[in-house]
Amino acid sequence: TQLLEQSPQFLSIQEGENLTVYCNSSSVFSSLQWYRQEPGEGPVLLVTVVTGGEVKKLKRLTFQFGDARKDSSLHITAAQPGDTGLYLCAGRGYQKVTFGTGTKLQVIP
């Protein structure tokens, strides 16, 4: 069974701080996606990384796929209250999608 562990599980920070969320597995994935989910809504795709070592930037968010395609990280610079939500990584393989355990982020104004 493929498992994706995210850390930390919960994160409460002040506006303007930086943070990093990690997504780790012992399995190799063909690609990895990051989603953000707000209360009462479904997850929304933020980014897809495909190549080992790939780095993608989305404004203040930086995503990295590990060289071995087993892990990924999400770094947020100067967090804002609008970044509050549940962040989910999702590893994709043949006919299977595995979601991570989730990181609940709260950014306090």
Partner 1 sequence: DSGVTQTPKHLITATGQRVTLRCSPRSGDLSVYWYQQSLDQGLQFLIQYYNGEERAKGNILERFSAQQFPDLHSELNLSSLELGDSALYFCASSQLAGTGVSHTDTQYFGPGTRLTVL
Q: Give the residue with the Cβ less far from partner 1, 97 or 108.
A: 97
Residue from the set 50, 62, 73, 75 that interacts with partner 1 by CB under 8 A: 50
Decide if residue 39 touches partner 1 (CB under 8 A): no
CB-CB contact of 25 with 71 (8 Å): yes
CB-CB contact of 67 with 84 (8 Å): no
What is the rounded distance in angstroms from the CA atom of residue 37 to the CA atom of residue 88? 8
* Total number of residues shown for the chain: 109
Q: Give the residue with the Cβ less far from partner 1, 81 or 93.
A: 93
Binding interface with partner 1 (CB under 8 A): 29-31, 40-45, 48, 50, 88, 90, 92-102
